[in-house]
Chain A
Amino acid sequence: MHSGAVYNAEENNLVTFKNDNTLAGKTLFEKIWDKHVVTKVDGGPGVLYIDRHFVHEVTSPQAFAGLRNRGIKVRRPEKTVATADHNIPTLGQDQPIRDELSRFQVNKLAENCREFGVSLFGLNHPWNGIVHVIGPELGITRPGMTIVCGDSHTSTHGAFGSIAFGIGTSEVEMVLATQTLLQNKPKTMRINIEGDLGKGVMSKDIVLYIISQIGTGGATGYFVEFAGSAIRSLSMEARMTICNMSIEMGARGGMIAPDETTFEYVKGREFAPKGTEWDKAVEEWRQLPSDPDAEFDKELTFDAADIEPMITYGTNPGMGIGISKRIPKMEEIEKSTQATFKKSMQYMDFQPGDSMIGKKVDYVFLGSCTNGRIEDLRAFASFVKGKKKAENVTVWIVPGSHQVEAQAEKEGIRQILEEAGFEMRQPGCSACLAMNDDKIPEGNYAVSTSNRNFEGRQGPGARTMLASPITAAAAAITGKITDPRDFL
């Protein structure tokens, strides 16, 4: 049943079992977690040691102010890295930021980093970019680590086989002050995707499919390990897209066991271990994958062959369907969810039972920590190569970092895009959350490769349809929702 908002995975045709055998092997999650517990509060949460803390301008100023009020320092500044990404313009970054409040916030971050001795990859720094793009590309993110950031999509870093999750600002202060975090141990879930992916299906489609099946609360309370042959076959960047959106199914975080693909990606990056250190690290990382007899509190399995290019029709990421399918009819929606569904339909101005194919598109956004990496730009560029942008659409292509931008330049992607009538902007979160000027105008329809289609997320009154980079590309050249497979 399509509901886009049910929690109950039990209703699906899936296996579920409880973990009550204490002699069983350990999961990837448990191995890392157990290694990082400093101590346990009586009857309460564990004190978890944090290996890496990423900081950005929006959720950190109150935390630094807290330290100042208490008269304390950052406990381990060398484990903390800051970037400006959420609140920056994507044009004219060499100029002072025009919006006064944004400028103040970005300057405040620089001031705080200076005062507390934290490394900052600020605006115009060659390593600047979206926090979840730069951590991996600089080799700061590595298997076996505990990683946090005041941003829910910190789950992205779990693709390397690390425990990575988003925290609130009080917790940011906690980690700055103590390098630890009070955390209750979540339950564990494994989601297996088995088999071969169909033509035109990207990792974004896999994750949108899972969320459409289990709902936006389907994994609340769990840490999810993604496994199965379809996941193993993915590149690191594709894996990041999946872990990135694990928060949209309610999960505390998502992770994928490290393997040769992971080591290959990390090797040689700026902050990756080198020489004998590297060999030692890889040796340790090889021990991380879940033991064959490890048990999960819950396990779900999906068939890769059931997944087609996905698109969302509603106002939460669980309201997604295969692009050839129709929006559910009212009677197919669970009773308790009908009011919410109706509100969504009104906001989107769609009719239950409508087909998505052919719906008009005003904007296309390629970018964000979900799909703003080089492989995403490559996929988009190779799709539009030799074609022309549709006249009725405005397209924003925003690389996830300066390194992605430079790579796109080097590979000739910028040129391909420009020849097809597109322009590439400067890196940042941009229209993903529309804190800067990149806002989709009220009532306009946007196909977006980002992760949230909430009301007003991309600007007040903006109507978002989430999709993969190539589904976005298909919309950009046809000006309407189009099955990308028609062009493959």
Chain B
Amino acid sequence: MPIDKFVKLQSTCVPLPIENVDTDQIIPARFLKATTREGFGDNLFADWRYDKSGKPREDFVLNDPKYSGKVLVAGQNFGSGSSREHAAWALAGYGFKAVVSSFFADIFKNNSLNNGLLPVQVSKEFLETLFNAIEKDPATKVEIDLENQKITILPDGPSESFDINPYKKKCLLNGFDDIDYLLNISDHIEAWEKEHA
């Protein structure tokens, strides 16, 4: 099952300057009863986004018409807590292609990469600059260039480079998926199993 390719993206941003956004906030547990990957985007950040009657809360950023785009910019330690991949499905399902933060939880990072959602880890200073730029002008765009591992606040910077595992980078650039890779080396796995039986 190939994932979506990710090469270069230019987009406006949705700012969420809160720290430690855990996966229970990204997608609350009561929405985890589905048995397919589709439809989680509607319940992304459900408890912040809707009130009890299901009406959108005006003060939440996803409901603010000023902000839109394919890049979510969030405070540090994004995606902590539960390992639910539903969090990555909800973000991708809503239409995000990348999340920018100064720090990501491990499992969330893996889950995102496995779904073609790019976690871009930047310095605290860059994150603050980006938040300020968006606050000043909600139409601020960033460019995320995976090939060169660079994020730039358009039109003229600043920019910063970000890390990504070279293998994962190749997967994203080409839309490869881990399981295809592992299935291709099944002889290797079989040999290892024999040796360790």
Contact = CB atoms under 8 A, between A and B. Distances in A.
Interface string A27-49: 00000000000110111110101
B183 A178 contact: yes
A425 B67 CA distance: 47
B154 interface: no
Contacts of A435: 29-30, 32-33
Given A101-B33, A170-B178, A454-B25, A38 B107 contact: no
B4 interface: no
Nearest to B35: A61
A45 B168 CA distance: 9
B82 A152 contact: yes
Interface residues of B, number: 55
Contacts of A85: none
Contact of A65 (B35, B80, B181, B182): B35
A340 B85 contact: no
Interface stretch (B5-13, B109-117, B145-153): B109-117
Contacts of A151: 82-83
Interface string B66-104: 000000000111001111111010000000000000010
Contacts of A72: 183
B29 A343 contact: no
Nearest to B37: A62
Nearest to A249: B80
A93 interface: no
B34 A178 contact: no
Interface string B166-190: 1110000000001101110110110
Given A173-B179, A452-B81, A5 B20 contact: yes
Using C-beta atoms within 8 Å of the partner chain, give the interface range for chain A: 35 or more
Nearest to A253: B106
A56 to B, nearest CB: 11
Contact of B181 (A58, A182, A343): A182
A44 B168 contact: yes
B29 A433 contact: yes
Contact of A455 (B25, B36, B110): B25
Residue among B179, B189, B193 having the largest count of chain A Cβ atoms under 10 Å:
B179
B28 interface: yes
A339 interface: yes
A74 to B, nearest CB: 13
B33 A41 contact: no
B85 A59 contact: yes
A276 interface: no
Interface in A141-179: 150-152, 166-171, 173-174, 177-179
A171 B192 CA distance: 20
A39 to B, nearest CB: 6
B143 interface: no
Contacts of A337: 19
A186 B115 CA distance: 22
Contact of B165 (A47, A150, A180, A184): A184
B158 interface: no
Interface in B26-44: 28-30, 32-37
Contacts of B179: 66, 70, 170, 173-174, 177-178
A252 interface: yes
A429 to B, nearest CB: 9
B103 A38 contact: no
A460 B28 contact: yes
Interface in B108-149: 110-111, 114-115, 124
Contacts, number: 183
Residue among B82, B111, B165 having the largest count of chain A Cβ atoms under 10 Å:
B82
B103 to A, nearest CB: 6
Contact of B80 (A102, A216, A252): A216
A59 B189 CA distance: 25
B33 A105 contact: yes
Contacts of A152: 81-83, 107
A59 B83 contact: yes
A41 B178 CA distance: 11
Contacts of B25: 454-456
Residue among B81, B83, B188 having the largest count of chain A Cβ atoms under 10 Å:
B83
B174 to A, nearest CB: 13
Contacts of B182: 47, 174, 177-178, 180, 182
Contacts of B33: 58, 87, 99, 101-102, 104-105, 435
Contact of A44 (B18, B19, B32, B167): B167
A38 B192 contact: yes
Contacts of B83: 59, 150-152, 166-168
B55 interface: no
Contacts of A426: none
Nearest to A173: B179
Contact of A45 (B22, B35, B165, B193): B165
Interface of A: 5, 7, 38-39, 41-45, 47, 49, 58-59, 61-62, 65-66, 69-70, 72, 75, 86-87, 99, 101-102, 104-105, 108, 150-152, 166-171, 173-174, 177-180, 182, 184, 186, 216-217, 220-221, 250, 252, 316, 336-337, 339-340, 343, 433-435, 442, 452, 454-457, 460
Q: Which 9 A-B pairs have the closest CB atoms?
A: A44-B167, A61-B35, A168-B85, A168-B111, A101-B33, A170-B114, A166-B83, A152-B83, A169-B85
Given A7-B77, A104-B35, 16 more contacts: A45-B165, A62-B85, A70-B1, A86-B32, A99-B33, A108-B35, A152-B81, A152-B82, A166-B83, A169-B85, A178-B182, A217-B77, A433-B24, A452-B81, A456-B47, A460-B28
28 contacts: A7-B103, A39-B185, A41-B181, A43-B167, A45-B165, A49-B192, A49-B193, A65-B35, A70-B179, A75-B189, A86-B32, A167-B83, A167-B107, A168-B107, A174-B178, A174-B182, A177-B179, A182-B167, A184-B165, A216-B77, A217-B20, A250-B77, A252-B106, A339-B18, A339-B19, A442-B52, A456-B47, A457-B24
